[in-house]
């Protein structure tokens, strides 16, 4: 698990990052808060407080919580939010039925991945994000990670290719209903594999 070296020092952002990471890794391992508490040695009440951003744990507690879900906490030389953090923002936008805001976050995710090179790009995607509540968006996030990591020949995290992140029938990542539907030639291969239709040009203006 990664926290950026700069943002870890800012309390409010640190709380949001740790909350997202703990919740994401717990759910990716299909653990209840009680089970994570038992594995980490941190009281279930504190797990709940951390996940609700009502407690800002120290590094030792954060490390124990993540280790309880089979992950390690480390710092990386970047100030950019990782995929799991931005996916949580997309989830909030989806809950508000604001597809334009969700797409803006999605493009920010794309920009962050493009800005890093090699394994550091992979580090941004190593944590499995929790579901956005929309299989289309979940599939789009996985496709984007595959698209950007493949470009650097970086191994894909296993979560990218799970069935939950692939659509059985292709759908347009619809932000504006007036937008034309892209042809298959206009869609990156990784998005086609995940069943998401998006214009390649939408991802290249960074």
- 70: domain CATH number is 1.10.260.40
What integer is the mean pLDDT of 155-182?
90
pLDDT band, very low/low/confident/very high, at 139 (cuts 50, 70, 90): very high
10 vs 56: CA distance, rounded Å: 11
pLDDT band, very low/low/confident/very high, at 57 (cuts 50, 70, 90): confident
Question: Both 40 and 111 in a single domain?
Answer: no
Question: Both 47 and 99 in a single domain?
Answer: no
Question: Both 172 and 150 in a single domain?
Answer: yes
pLDDT for residue 18 is more than 90: no
Question: Both 44 and 114 in a single domain?
Answer: no
Half-sphere exposure of 18 (CA within 13 A, CB side): 32
Please list, in sequence order, all residues whose beta carbon lies within 8 angstroms of the beta carbon of residue 78, skipping any fewer than 6 positions away: 2, 4, 5, 116, 120, 123, 124
Question: Both 92 and 10 in a single domain?
Answer: no
Can you give the pLDDT at residue 179? 80
Question: Both 183 and 114 in a single domain?
Answer: yes
192 vs 150: CA distance, rounded Å: 14
Query: How much is the mean pLDDT over the chain?
Result: 86
Can you give the pLDDT at residue 119? 85
Question: Both 106 and 68 in a single domain?
Answer: no
Residues shown for the chain: 206
Question: Both 95 and 186 in a single domain?
Answer: yes
Report the number of distinct structural domains present in the chain: 2
pTM of the model: 0.73
- Domain span at 148: 83-203
What integer is the mean pLDDT of 36-56?
88
Task: Say which range, 11-15, 138-142, 160-164, has the weakest mean pLDDT.
Answer: 11-15
């Amino acid at each position: 698990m990664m926290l950026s070296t700069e943002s870890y020092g800012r309390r409010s952002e640190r709380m949001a990052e740790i909350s997202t990471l703990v919740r994401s890794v717990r759910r990716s391992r299909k653990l209840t808060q009680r089970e994570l508490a038992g594995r980490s040695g941190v009281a279930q009440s504190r797990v709940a407080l951390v996940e609700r951003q009502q407690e800002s744990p120290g590094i030792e507690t954060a490390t124990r919580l993540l280790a309880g879900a089979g992950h390690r906490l480390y710092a990386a030389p970047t100030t950019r939010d990782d995929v799991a953090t931005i996916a949580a923002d997309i989830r909030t936008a989806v809950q508000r039925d604001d597809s334009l805001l969700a797409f803006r976050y999605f493009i920010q995710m794309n920009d962050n991945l493009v800005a890093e090179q090699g394994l550091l790009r992979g580090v941004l995607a190593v944590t499995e994000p929790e579901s956005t509540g929309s299989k289309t968006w979940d599939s789009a996030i996985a496709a984007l990670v595959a698209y950007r990591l493949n470009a650097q020949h970086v191994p894909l995290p296993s979560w990218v290719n799970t069935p939950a992140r692939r659509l059985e029938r292709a759908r347009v990542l619809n932000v504006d209903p007036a937008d034309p539907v892209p042809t298959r030639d206009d869609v990156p291969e990784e998005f086609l594999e995940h069943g998401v239709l998006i214009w390649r040009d939408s991802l290249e203006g960074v």
